[in-house]
Amino acid sequence: MGLFVNQNENRTELQQRIDAELRAKAAKRQKVDSDLDGSNAIDGTNYLKGTKQTTGLDWAWLIIAIAVAILFGTFIYLVNKA
């Protein structure tokens, strides 16, 4: 254990510089990650910026999706029947 402590005290200038650069990169990455997940936002809704609410026509999209599924199913049924 004493040998390990001595090795830390005898670090070269290159090792110290690499250590400082890695610590700076880690701090920068942590700041970017915290900005992305919205943890620094006051109300925690930072990820909702630039989005819009669903309009009153969401029921129409549901009906269209169901109709497409029925048409696809009918097509598959007719192809297999022939």
**pLDDT, tens digit (0-9, with 9 covering 90-100), for 11-59:** 788 998 999 999 999 988 888 777 665 555 456 677 777 888 878 888 9
pLDDT of residue 65: 97
Confidence (pTM): 0.38
Q: Judge whether 17 and 25 are in contact, CB under 8 Å.
A: no
Residue 22, amino acid: L
Q: In the predicted model, what is the mean pLDDT of the chain? A: 81
pLDDT of residue 70: 98
